Structures are given as C-alpha cells and as structure tokens.
Amino acid sequence: MPERENQPRQKAGVHGWRAFLLMFGCGTTAALLVVGLFFGAVRMLGAAVLPGGDEPPAAAVPEGSWEPAPSMTPGALDLCSTLETSAQTGAFKTMFPKRLDDDGDYTDPGPSASDRTISDDCKWALRSPEQGEWRFRLTYEASAADVSESVRVSEAEAAFAKARGEIDSKFSTVTETEKMGRVAEQAYAQYGASSSGDTESLYIFLGRSRSGVFRMDISSLSQEVSEAEFRELARSLAPVLSTRLERILPA
C-alpha cells in the first residue's frame, strides 16, 4: 500500500475578518472605558471644588452694564470738545473743522450749585469736497440740579418741546421733517431753505437724552446740499452726544 504522508494538523483559532472584528471591538470598549473613567473623575473633582454640587455658577454681569455716577466733575460734559476729540466723530473731523467762536461759552457752576445747569454754544466752518463750505453749530443745555431724576427729565422734555416749536422760524421753506428713533431718547430733524438768507440749505437736528437737550444746525454757504448728506453727518454724531449725556450726567 502506498504510504500516505501525515498532514500537519492546523491549530484552532480565529482568523480573517473574525479576528479583525474581535480586535476592533475590544479596542473600542477599552477606549470608551477610559473616556468614561476620565469624565467621571472630572465630574467628581468639580463637585468637590464648586460649592453647591452640580449647580452652575451664577451668571456674570453682562459687559457694558452701568449705573449713572453719583456726581460729575466740572468740565466732564464738554460736548464741543467731544466732537473735536472723540474717536467716534470721524465724519466730523474729516471735514477739517475750524472753530469760529472763542470757546468761551461753556458754563458749569459745579457740584455745589443746587440748580446746576451745563450749557455751551459752539460754531465751526467745515469743508466738503463736493459742496464747498458748510457751517456747523452745536448748542446744548443739561440739568444736573439737586432734584430727582424724574423732575430733571420732565423739565428736559418740556425744553425739547419748546425748542422744537422754535425751529420753524429758522426756515423760509420746509422740505423734510423727521422723527427719529434709536439715536436719542427723543429726536427730531427738519430740512429746507434758511430764512436768514445767509445760507443755501439748512438742516436742524434736535435731540434729548435724560435731562439734556442738544441741537445741531448744519448749513451750506455756496450751494444747495441734499437733506440726505446733512442727515448722514447728523446721524453719525447724535449717538455720540446722546451717550455722553446719558452716561456722564449724575444720578
């Protein structure tokens, strides 16, 4: 009989795709176990360090929150200086403002005055590359009297209404009127031909914030300027002035 060679016996085991799945499953389980242990340790550590266990910490005070200061130093509400120096009045400063008054109208009797009122009247010449020379005037009056905030605001609202009634006399013809929101607590603007005859076009913006009322008169000397161009300048400056009144006036 022919001899038959004995074939070596194959060892039992897991091969191929079964081995791959087994190794993958074991590795994944181990990884999940490590991650679970890690987060468990972090949670236990947080509970030990933070008072109140799992309760979240109290919410932080939002940025930008503020309260009016209890007092105001003399000179703090110089809005004419604000126009000339603030980083937010670029539209004004790019028109090469030249002061026309003697800078001597600023008044502030100081904190000792019980009926303290701050006011100023400032005038500039501006240069527009397209429309030639403009005139810009800022006037304002703000109360820091020794009375309640509500009384001061009520008086400022009355002053705003009175000033609005006086604007009409500055125009020979009124072309546009506008009530504005968001630039001040109260805001009104009017545009048309000046009644003085010294200027071509006139735009007046009137605003109130807290106990302060301010007014901007913008006019052109050499040619007619559209309402939109005057309005653009006024709307860029009004929020700056309004914010100063809102935040600098004492409580």
List, for residues 186-214, the tens digit of each pLDDT value.
999 999 999 987 778 999 999 999 999 99
Domain map (residue ranges) of the chain: 17-54, 79-248
pLDDT in tens, 156-181: 999 999 999 999 999 999 999 999 88
pLDDT over threshold 90, residue 140:
yes
Average pLDDT over residues 9-22: 45
| Rounded-to-integer distance, Cα 113 and Cα 109, Å | 6
Separation CA 173–CA 194 (nearest Å):
7
Q: Compute the average pLDDT of residues 66-71.
A: 75
Which of 88-92, 164-168, 219-223 has the weakest average pLDDT? 219-223
pLDDT computed for residue 222 by the predictor: 80
pLDDT at 120 over 60: yes
Q: pLDDT exceeding 70 applies to what percent of the chain?
A: 74
User: Predicted confidence band at 71 (pLDDT cuts at 50, 70, 90)?
Assistant: confident
For 79-248, which CATH class? alpha beta
Decide if pLDDT at 32 tops 50: no
- When mean pLDDT is compared over 26-30, 53-57, 66-70, 97-101, the highest value belongs to 97-101
The residue with greater pLDDT, 73 or 70, is: 73
pLDDT tens, position by position, 128-139: 888 889 999 999
Query: What does the pLDDT read at residue 35?
Result: 42
